[in-house]
């Protein structure tokens, strides 16, 4: 497999191939099998969730037979690749775009939905990404990064904000590859960090149990041949004229594996409409590469890191012990009639993952805009800014459920 790339930087051939692989995985049920594990096995807590996510990405890429791209949501709006209604394959056949949505479980009976915000919060996401990368422990880093990921998914809305169904949307996987990219970047600059919370923690997915400490230290998903060095993947083409979709697709039959271990990915035999058999081979999910030997690649740097900004003082809003909710929602942070940030409440659905969580938001820009003139080192200016804040809580149907003050405070941090 070649290196993971930004979906907006894929060539026409690369995107076409990825869509073909996703279309086949949706047709055979291989995609839904792994997507269903997210609600069934995803652990409670941001640190464990990051580790579980890394293994899920490796399993999905094994099922697809190719790497998945990432969406840099702090820089770009929802990629057009996930919004197009149709695409044309290499043979000139026109297909429905498999990245537009997926099938939910039979009990839900419909395809996935989205309600994308008109003003996507790229600014808050960029601030959250920089804040996460500045944290010194894996626990603090994962907590801030989880907030950013939840903000992305609730800003897409619909099923993407619901733990029961989010993973059935192909866009979910572009979001989570990006989350793992940021995690990889943090790990390469914290090579000697302790993963005490991962020690002796066993996680589970549809293939069985696995050791979390091994997975969190495995960065092999980000050490692959750059796509520009892959002649087959980098080929250019002129898209052929559109035709009607063909009735079937060529499939190479293989022998089914006799033994499947807990550290392998397999989908078994899938019978297609044309009578061919598609067998996903059972292979090791990853080859472990320890973070201490990892060489940083420029293509995985964040926009903030590319600018090499010097450390500066930031105003952080702390909103402690916010209870998670069964249905998705959000809390708008207001200064008078202006919303300056959001606390995202990812819908936990039927999983039972209901617990309080501390949220940290960078509100530096709003501080200087709303409290002008202001001195970031002046406690009175900080308190005056904080006194102007109110909060509006909304539920999944965008109905206002609470309005006023909630426990919070501001502090200054330099990074």
pLDDT tens digits for range 188-239: 999 889 898 887 799 999 999 999 999 999 999 998 877 554 444 433 433 3
Whether cis (ω within 30° of 0) applies to the bond prior to 373 is yes
Q: What is the pLDDT of residue 283?
A: 30
pLDDT range class, residue 299, cuts 50, 70, 90: low
Q: What is the pLDDT of residue 34?
A: 97
Beta strands in 206-303 (DSSP E): 208-211, 264-265, 268-271, 277-280, 283-284
> Does residue 232 or residue 386 have the better pLDDT?
386
Give the tens place of pLDDT for each residue, 142-164.
999 999 999 999 999 999 999 99
Mean pLDDT over each residue of the chain, to the nearest integer: 82
Q: What is the pLDDT of residue 355?
A: 86
Structural domains of the chain sorted by starting position, each given as residue range(s) with its CATH number in brackets = 7-300 (1.10.1280.10), 312-414 (2.60.310)
Strands 329-335 and 313-323: unpaired
Helix locations, 157-220, DSSP H: 170-188, 212-216
Give the tens place of pLDDT for each residue, 315-325.
999 999 999 88
Q: What is the pLDDT of residue 271?
A: 36
pLDDT at 61 over 90: yes
Q: Taking residues 66-72, what's their average pLDDT?
A: 97
Q: What is the pLDDT of residue 350?
A: 85
Q: Taking residues 252-275, what's their average pLDDT?
A: 32
Distance CA(101)–CA(108), nearest Å, equals: 14
Q: Are 184 and 222 in contact (CB under 8 A)?
A: yes
pLDDT range class, residue 276, cuts 50, 70, 90: very low
> Does residue 286 or residue 336 have the better pLDDT?
336
Q: Are 216 and 195 in contact (CB under 8 A)?
A: yes
pLDDT range class, residue 305, cuts 50, 70, 90: low
Q: Taking residues 372-389, what's their average pLDDT?
A: 90
pLDDT at 408 over 50: yes
Give the tens place of pLDDT for each residue, 116-130.
998 899 999 999 999
Q: What is the pLDDT of residue 302?
A: 55
Total length of the chain: 415
Q: Taking residues 174-201, what's their average pLDDT?
A: 92
> Does residue 374 or residue 69 have the better pLDDT?
69
Helix, strand, coil percentages in the chain from 3-state DSSP, rounded to 5: 40, 20, 40
pLDDT range class, residue 303, cuts 50, 70, 90: low
């Amino acid at each position: 497999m070649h290196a993971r790339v930004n979906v907006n930087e894929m060539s026409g051939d690369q995107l076409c191939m990825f869509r073909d692989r996703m279309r086949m995985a949706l047709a055979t049920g291989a995609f839904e099998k792994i997507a269903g594990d997210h609600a069934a096995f995803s652990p409670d807590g941001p640190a464990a969730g990051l580790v579980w996510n890394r293994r899920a990405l490796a399993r999905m890429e094994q099922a697809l037979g190719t790497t998945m791209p990432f969406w840099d949501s702090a820089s770009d709006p929802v990629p057009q690749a996930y919004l197009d209604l149709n695409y044309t394959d290499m043979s000139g056949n026109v297909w429905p775009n498999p990245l537009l949505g997926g099938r939910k479980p039979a009990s839900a009976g419909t395809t996935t939905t989205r309600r994308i915000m008109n003003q996507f919060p790229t600014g808050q996401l960029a601030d959250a990404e920089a804040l996460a990368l500045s944290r010194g422990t894996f626990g603090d880093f994962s907590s801030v990064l989880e907030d950013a990921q939840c903000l992305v998914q609730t800003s897409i809305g619909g099923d993407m904000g619901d733990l029961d169904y989010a993973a059935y949307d192909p866009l979910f996987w572009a979001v989570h590859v990006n989350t793992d990219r940021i995690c990889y970047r943090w790990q390469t600059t914290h090579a000697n960090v302790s993963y005490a919370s991962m020690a002796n923690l066993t996680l589970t997915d549809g293939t069985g149990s696995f050791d979390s400490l091994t997975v969190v230290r495995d960065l092999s998903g980000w050490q692959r041949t750059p796509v520009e060095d892959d002649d087959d993947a980098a080929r250019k083409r002129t898209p052929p004229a559109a035709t009607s979709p063909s009735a079937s697709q060529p499939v190479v039959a293989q022998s089914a594996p006799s033994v499947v271990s807990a550290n392998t990915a397999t989908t078994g035999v899938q019978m297609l409409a044309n009578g061919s058999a598609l067998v996903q081979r059972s292979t090791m999910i990853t080859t472990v590469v320890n973070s201490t030997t990892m060489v940083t690649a420029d293509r995985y740097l964040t926009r903030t890191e590319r600018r090499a900004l010097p450390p500066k003082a930031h105003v952080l809003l702390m909103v402690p012990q916010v209870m998670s909710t069964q249905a998705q929602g959000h809390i708008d942070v207001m200064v008078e009639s202006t919303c300056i940030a959001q606390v995202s409440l990812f819908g936990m659905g039927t999983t039972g993952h209901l617990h309080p969580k501390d949220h940290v938001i960078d509100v530096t820009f709003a501080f200087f805009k709303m409290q002008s003139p202001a001195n970031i080192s002046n406690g009175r200016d900080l308190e005056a800014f904080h006194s102007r804040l109110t909060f509006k809580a909304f539920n999944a149907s965008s109905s206002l459920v609470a309005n006023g003050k909630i426990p919070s405070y501001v502090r200054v941090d330099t990074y």
